[in-house]
Structure 1
Amino acid sequence: MSQAITRRSNAVSRPAYSAPSGDVADLIALKRDHFAVWKRDITPDRVRALRQQLAISERALAPADPEKIKSWLARLAPMVTNPPEPNGAILQIFCEVCSDIPDAAWTPESRLAWVRQPRRNGVAVGSFWPSPAELFNHLDTFGQKLRDEVAILKNLLAIAETPPEPEPTKLDAAEIARRKAVLAKLREELQAVDAEQDRKSAALRGSVREEKIAENPRKTNFSAGTEVPDMVG
């Protein structure tokens, strides 16, 4: 066994991972389902619970000790066909390939998940001993769930620690009067623009009528501004 694995096997044992529960589990589920969580939803008690869970989950992200990997493999052996003895070089290979798998992924649940996985092309894959690469891919799904959990916990704490927005400034009487004056002036300017537009439109209509009179003087009733039909002799 390599020196790296030997050093890891002598590491101090870590507390067992505890999955989130109660309000913490509910908040994580909301975030996973893409629901909004607001600062007001995260009370001081929930903040304390989130911090405690984050500490637990971050510890569980550390790689597993070789003894734990050996124990996990030894318990898998009776469940599958023709397993090797998980010692020596075989254990070293599994430890090296699965070195990034979090400690909390090596659980009875993940072991049963290997055995109970669906058939592939009619083959009961879970009835066979996994290769190191197969085991890495299998356990990494459990590891990714834990990584996501840590990310969500950090996000929830960031929401809780967001500074409150400043209260809107209250307007005094002078400011209210000033804003009313600005609005009144703007209203006058808009009315002036509308009046000028009406004047131009009226002038344009008058110009068009004069042109028609000039072109057809015999067909125009000057008093009414309407055309008069030709008189037939």
Structure 2
Amino acid sequence: MTESQLREAICDLGRSLFERGYTHGASGNLSVRLDDGSFLVTPTNVSLGILDPTCLAHLDATGRHLEGPLPTKEVALHAALYRTRRGSGAVVHLHSTHSVAVSMLPDLDPADALPPLTAYQLMKVGRTAILPYFRPGDPAMGDAVADLGGVYSAILLANHGPVVAGDTLLEAGYAIEELEQTAKLHLLLRHERPRLVPQTEVDFFNE
């Protein structure tokens, strides 16, 4: 896709996520990596529902602001995922309700926060790490993501929300929606004894 098409795609996905209730207010941010390693990212304090393709921030591979409006305060988060998951072409970060709720639960496994509930969770999301609480915009959050070594494409930020990296913006969008629905299922079932996906299937999708 051309840069112009990617700009339009960011706005289309942002509007879709906002209109379907996956994000609210001016929360959440999206980015797409360009062929030269730099990336486009949504601006700070702007609703994903009203993005303008001509008003996206352009940053270099390290997260340095090159042009456009001031970027989201979560630049370090995006830059860390691009740096450690080199095949990633897009990053989506939301404050979606069920994922945030799961991130507040006690005794989550930091290396595998959600049980294997569905095959599509395993296919689209994979294992989900959870990081401790950081103040939004804290560069240390980017360092914590980088310390995961690129093993995870999906991460929960405690008391904050999910972030997902994907090969394309569309794939990242699908994955974060699947993560949110998995989080919803987990909350519905966590006082039950749900039948999980068989371990043989978990191993198959993790290969």
Higher strand share: 2
Higher helix share: 1
TM above 0.5, yes or no, is no
TM-score by length of 2: 0.24
TM-score by length of 1: 0.22
Higher-Rg structure is: 1
